[in-house]
Amino acid sequence: MSVPVTMRQIAERAEVSIGTVSHVINGTAKVREKLRIRVVEAIRNLGYQPSQLARGLRRNQTSMLGMIIPDVTNPFFPAVVRGVEDVAYKRSFRVILCNTDNDPHKETSYFNELRSYRPAGLLVIPAAESHIAVQLRSLATSGPPVVCIDRRPTGWDGDVVVVANDAGSYAATRYLLRMGHRNLAVITGPLHLANAVERLKGFRRALDEARVSIEPEYIQEARFDRTSGYHAALRLLRMLPRPTAIFACNDLMALGVLLAARELNVSCPEELSIVGFDNLDFTEFTAPALTTVHQSGYQLGATAARLLVERIDGLKERPKKLVLPIELKIRHSSSPPVARAAANGRGKRYSPSTSVR
C-alpha cells in the first residue's frame, strides 16, 4: 500500500484483464455485472486512484481548467475564482489557479506551462501589460478553448466575458451630475486596459450629454490600486478650482481618494463626493461608506466558466462577448456640492443654508 496502486494490480486482484478495468472505470463498454462488481470492489479495497498523468497523456486532455489571474491579493478577483470554481466543480472539472503577479513574463510562462498539462480549457484575466493575445491566437484552432474575463487583451477576438463598464461609469457620472456637480474629476485605470478605457468613455459620455466640459488635468490616470489612487487624488485636491466630486474607476483607488481627502482635511461628502467602482466588501465599512458601481465578480466567473464548459462540450458558434449588468450602489460618500466648494471660484449654485450636515 505504500507505492501507488495501478490498474494492473486491480486487474490481477479482480482476475480480469486490464482493459476490462478501464472499461468499468470509464463506462466505455458493457461489462458483465459479476466482473464489474469484482472490479469495483478491488478498486475500493486497494484504494485505487487513476493516474491523471497517464490518462491525460493518453487522451491528450485532462479534466483541469487552467485559470490565470493577475493577483489573488486584489480583492476583486477571489470572487471571480469562486464563481469559476463552483460551476467547474459541478461538471467535475478541477481548476488550477496561477497568479501572474501582473507580470507579462510570468503570465506567458504560466500560460505555456499550463498548456503542456493539457487542460480541458483555459480562463484568463489578462495582466496589465499582457501580450498574451498573440499566444492565445496561436492556439485558437489547435489548443484548448480559452475565454478571457474582465479585460479583453488587445488583439484577442475569442470569447470574452465582461461587465458593462461603460454603462457603469455613465450611471455613476449621471448621478453626480444630477446632484449638481459641475466640477468633476476622474481617476482612471491604466489606459491600455480595455476596461479602463470603457469606464472613462462612460464618464465622458455622461459629461458630453450634459454639456459639461472637463479640463484635461482633471483626468488622472492611475494603476487601479490604492496607492496610485491616493497620489492622483492628492494632485487633484490641490488644483484650483478643486473638483467637488471624484469618480475613481475602481474601489481601491476610491479608497486612496478617501485617504487623501482625510489627510488634506477635505471632508467627504460635504466638500468632496467620491464614487468608486466594483462594490468590494470594504466599501460598506469605510467612513463614510462608499457610493460605488456594483459588479458581480462571482457572476463574472460563473458565466465565463459556463461558456468555457460549453466550448469544451463542442459548441462551435462564433466567439461570444457576454456583458454583465451593473448597478449603482448609493451610500454616503456622495452628496450635492455645497457652498463651500463654490468658494473655489466657481458659481454659487446653493444657498448658504444648504449647510454641512
Partner DNA sequence: TTGTATGCGTTATCAG
Partner DNA sequence: CTGATAACGCATACAA
In the bound state with DNA, the residue whose beta carbon lies nearer, of 66 and 158, is 66
Q: Characterise 211 by phi-psi region: left (phi > 0), alpha (psi -120 to 50), beta (else).
A: left
**Which of 47, 48, 22 lies closest to 35, judged by CA?**
22
**Which of 354, 337, 173 lies closest to 269, judged by CA?**
337
**Between 297-312 and 77-90, two packed helices, what is the crossing angle to 10 degrees?**
40
User: Which three cell numbers, joined as nine digits, stand for 106?
Assistant: 510570468
Minimum distance, C-beta of residue 6 to DNA, in the bound complex (Å): 3
Minimum distance, C-beta of residue 78 to a copy of itself, in the bound complex (Å): 4
Residues 208 to 247: which contact a copy of itself by CB under 8 A?
none
DSSP single-letter state for residue 285: T
In the bound state with a copy of itself, the residue whose beta carbon lies nearer, of 101 and 310, is 101
Minimum distance, C-beta of residue 277 to DNA, in the bound complex (Å): 44
Q: Which of 6, 50, 212, 322 binds a copy of itself (CB under 8 A)?
A: 50
- Residue 133 · residue 104 · CB < 8 Å: no
Beta bridge partners of 278: 294
Compute the distance between CA of residue 189 and CA of residue 199 in angstroms, rounded to an integer. Answer: 9
Residues 95 to 124: which contact a copy of itself by CB under 8 A?
95-99, 101, 106, 110, 112-113, 115-118
81 makes contact with a copy of itself (CB under 8 A):
yes
> What count of residues does the chain have?
357
- Residue 56 · residue 50 · CB < 8 Å: no
User: Which three cell numbers, joined as nine digits, stand for 37?
Assistant: 462488481
**Which of 228, 206, 215 lies closest to 183, judged by CA?**
215
Residues 42 to 101: which contact DNA by CB under 7 A?
48-51, 53-55, 57-60
Minimum distance, C-beta of residue 8 to DNA, in the bound complex (Å): 6
* x/- map, 257-296, a copy of itself, by CB under 8 A: -x----------------------xx--xxx---------
3-class SS string, 53-122: HHHHHHHCCCCEEEEEECCCCCCCHHHHHHHHHHHHHHCCCEEEEEECCCCHHHHHHHHHHHHCCCCCEE
34 makes contact with DNA (CB under 7 A):
yes
117 binds, among DNA, a copy of itself, none (CB under 5 to 8 A by kind): a copy of itself
355 makes contact with DNA (CB under 7 A):
no
- Residue 288 · residue 268 · CB < 8 Å: yes
Tell me, by CB under 8 A, how many residues bind a copy of itself.
50
| Cβ-count burial 86-123 (b if 16+ within 10 Å, e if not) | ebbeeeebebeebbbbbbbebbbebbeebbeebbbbbb
93 binds, among DNA, a copy of itself, none (CB under 5 to 8 A by kind): none
25 makes contact with DNA (CB under 7 A):
yes
Do the strands 327-329 and 291-294 form a parallel or antiparallel pair, or are they unpaired? antiparallel
Q: Which of 3, 33, 240, 314 binds a copy of itself (CB under 8 A)?
A: 3
53 makes contact with a copy of itself (CB under 8 A):
yes
Q: Which of 29, 37, 72, 315 binds a copy of itself (CB under 8 A)?
A: 72
Minimum distance, C-beta of residue 264 to a copy of itself, in the bound complex (Å): 17
- List residues binding a copy of itself (CB under 8 A): 1-4, 49-54, 56-57, 60, 62, 71-73, 75, 78-79, 81-82, 85-86, 89, 94-99, 101, 106, 110, 112-113, 115-118, 138, 141-142, 255, 258, 281-282, 285-287
- List residues binding DNA (CB under 7 A): 4, 6-8, 16-20, 22-23, 25-26, 28-32, 34-36, 48-51, 53-55, 57-60
